[in-house]
Amino acid sequence: MRSTPPCNSPAASWASGYQCGMLWGGALAAGAQAYRHHGAGARAEVEALLASQKLVETFRARAKEINCAEITELEWKRPSGGQVVKFLARGGPIGCFRLAADYAQIAFDTINNALDEQQLSTPAQPVSCTALLAQKMGVSEMHVVMAAGLAGGIGLSGGACGVLGAAIWLRGINTLKNGGKVSFDLNASSEEMESFLASADYEFECASIVGRKFEDVADHAAYVREGGCAKIIEALATRG
C-alpha cells in the first residue's frame, strides 16, 4: 500500500500517487453544479456525491485506472531521474494532456446526466464527511456542497481520504482570500497533514481507515451520523 497522499489533488502540496487530479477537480465541479441546481442542503450534497460516483466510473472506463501512480507508472513518493526520463520517452505527458482533453467533455456530460436523474430518497444530514468538515470550518454553503462529492475517497471509491483533500483545498481558498500564497512544494509538510496523520493512524485510504468501502450514499450518511471519522473531522476542522 502506498503511504502518500492524492496525486495532483487539493492535497497536492505534498508527495502524491493517489486519485488523478482530474477526478478531484471533476468532483468539485459536480458539487458546484449541484449547488446551482438545488442550492444548499442535503439534496444538493447527495446529487454531488452521486455525480462523483459516476465521474469515477467514467474516468476508470477511459483511463483504466483512477490513481496517478498507475496511470503514469511513476512512484511519486520517490521519483527517480530514470523514471522521469522513461515517462517522458514514452510520451507520458502527451498521454496525460490527451486524457485531460478527452475527460473534460466526458466529465461535463457525466455531471449533467447524473444531475438530471431522479433521486428516490435523500438521507438526513450530514450526508457526507467532507460536507460536515466544510460546515465546521465555516465556509460558504456553495463550498460545503462542492466538498460533498469528495466523501469516501471521491464518490465513495475508497481511495485517499476526501476529508484531508477537502481540508487542504479549503485552507488554500482561505489563504488566497486573506492575501497569502499557496505552496506547491510537494515535499512541504502542512498542519493539515500532521493533524490527519495523528488522527488516522497513518492511513491515507478511506477504505483502510474505515475498514470497508461504503455501499451507497445512505450507508455513508449513517456512518457519519453515528460519529464515524469524527476524530479526523474534528482534528482538521480545528486547523481551518
pLDDT digit string, tens, across residues 182-196: 776 655 557 778 889
Query: What 8-state DSSP symbol labels residue 117?
Result: S
Most confident of 1-15, 82-96, 166-180, 199-213: 199-213
Distance CA 33, CA 57 (A): 19
Please state the domain extents for the chain: 21-237
Mean pLDDT, all residues of the chain: 86
The confidence band for 7, taking pLDDT boundaries of 50, 70 and 90, is: very low
81 has a pLDDT exceeding 70: no
Question: Which amino acid type is present at position 212?
Answer: R
**39 vs 122: which has the higher pLDDT:** 39
What pTM did the predictor assign? 0.85
pLDDT attached to residue 3: 37
Residues whose CB falls within 8 Å of the CB of residue 34, separated by 6 or more in sequence, listed in order: 44, 45, 47, 48, 51, 115, 145, 148, 149
Q: What is the mean pLDDT of residues 49-53?
A: 96
User: Cell numbers at residue 86, please?
Assistant: 522513461
Chain Cα centroid distance, residue 53: 11
pLDDT attached to residue 84: 64
Q: Residues of 195-227 as b/e, b for ≥16 C-beta within 10 angstroms?
A: bbbebbeebbbbbbbbeebbeebeebbebbeee
Distance CA 140, CA 102 (A): 31
**13 vs 92: which has the higher pLDDT:** 92
Question: Bridge-partner residues for 19, per DSSP?
Answer: 67
44 has a pLDDT exceeding 60: yes
pLDDT digit string, tens, across residues 86-138: 767 677 778 888 899 999 999 999 999 999 887 667 888 899 999 999 999 99
pLDDT attached to residue 45: 96
pLDDT attached to residue 182: 77
pLDDT digit string, tens, across residues 133-180: 999 999 999 999 999 999 999 999 999 999 999 998 999 898 888 898
Distance CA 114, CA 49 (A): 10
Exposed / middle / buried, residue 5 (Cβ in 10 Å: 0-12, 13-18, 19+): buried
